[in-house]
Amino acid sequence: MSKLFRAVIMGPPGSGKGTISERIAHSFGLKHISSGDFVRENISANTEAGVLAKTYIKKGLLVPDHVMTRLLLPRLEEMTKYSWLLDGFPRTLAQADALNSICDLDVVINLNIPLETLKERLRHRWTHPSSGRVYNMYFNPPRIQGLDDITGEQLIQQEDDRPEALVARLRHYKDIAKPVIDLYKAKSILYTFSDTETDRIWPNISTLLSTKIPIGQSDARCASTH
Ligand SMILES: Nc1ncnc2c1ncn2[C@@H]1O[C@H](COP(=O)(O)OP(=O)(O)OP(=O)(O)O)[C@@H](O)[C@H]1O
Ligand SMILES: Nc1nc2c(ncn2[C@H]2C[C@H](O)[C@@H](COP(=O)(O)OP(=O)(O)O)O2)c(=O)[nH]1
């Protein structure tokens, strides 16, 4: 059997992780695992970890490492037959070490987007709370203003997407992401993309992945479920 492909996508809030992950899943047939979506699914299903995670998210905090790894690692271990892309995990060095103990990553995509661009994007980001689907009033607007395309339910603007909250969020992201980025740099698997537009970054990511993903890996069974 040919080797499976394991990738992580990192970047600050609003950097386009979700948007680019969807494109990668669609174009290369990788399973897209979003930690945020997975946490929300666990909250909806009232699992033990989901109930615990909710208490932190409600306060605007990150879910503690041991809860996240207990949620995510078994899920990854179930996916040994698939090539996958992880979005939103790892966020901390402890999470990166835990991931490292169960698999070898091939590529880490690191999105480096200017602060002003992030602020502007998040100001116009609308979210469907139960699924985590995101829209942007200009970049990818919903078909009907204010409503989710799939369910027709109301979209909301998340409190922490407001520009005032973003600066603190971004500082926090930088602090905790730096050791993770340094780790992947030292392993020579970090690929950083800097631009203000997803559409300009995408061709470069696509070219990189075309050279890295073994032929025959694109498999309809692996396509994103989102
Ligand atoms: N790897 C993780 N470690 C800790 N908490 C996490 C992790 N992934 C998700 N969470 C929790 O779930 C929440 C939702 O995650 P999600 O990635 O959807 O949104 P977010 O934090 O608004 O990020 P972004 O704006 O970058 O998409 C986070 O705010 C955090 O509380
Ligand atoms: N104007 C503009 N908006 C963009 C671009 N790429 C993504 N967006 C939008 C989609 C979302 O509403 C918001 C943040 O993107 P996202 O994919 O949710 O980012 P992330 O928080 O998962 O990293 O920005 C882009 O290139 N231009």
ipTM: 0.95
Residue 200 maps to a domain: yes
Residue 157 maps to a domain: yes
Quick: pLDDT tens for 110-165.
999 998 999 888 888 899 987 888 899 888 999 999 999 999 999 998 877 777 77
Tell me if 61 is assigned to a ligand binding site: yes
pTM, two decimals, is: 0.89
85, 24 Cβ separation under 8 angstroms: yes
Quick: pLDDT tens for 65-104.
999 999 999 999 999 899 999 999 999 999 999 999 999 9
Count of structural domains, the chain = 1
Residue 1 maps to a domain: no
Q: What is the CATH number of the domain that holds 100?
A: 3.40.50.300
Q: Residues near ligand 2 with C-beta < 6 Å?
A: 11, 13-19, 121, 125, 134-136, 138-140, 197-199
Q: Which ligand is nearest to the CA of 197?
A: 2
Residue 154 maps to a domain: yes
3-state secondary structure of 224: coil
What residue numbers bound the domain in which 194 lies? Answer: 6-222
Q: What pairing do the DSSP bridges indicate for beta strands 84-87 and 31-34?
A: parallel
The residue contributing the CA closest to ligand 1 atom 22 is 13
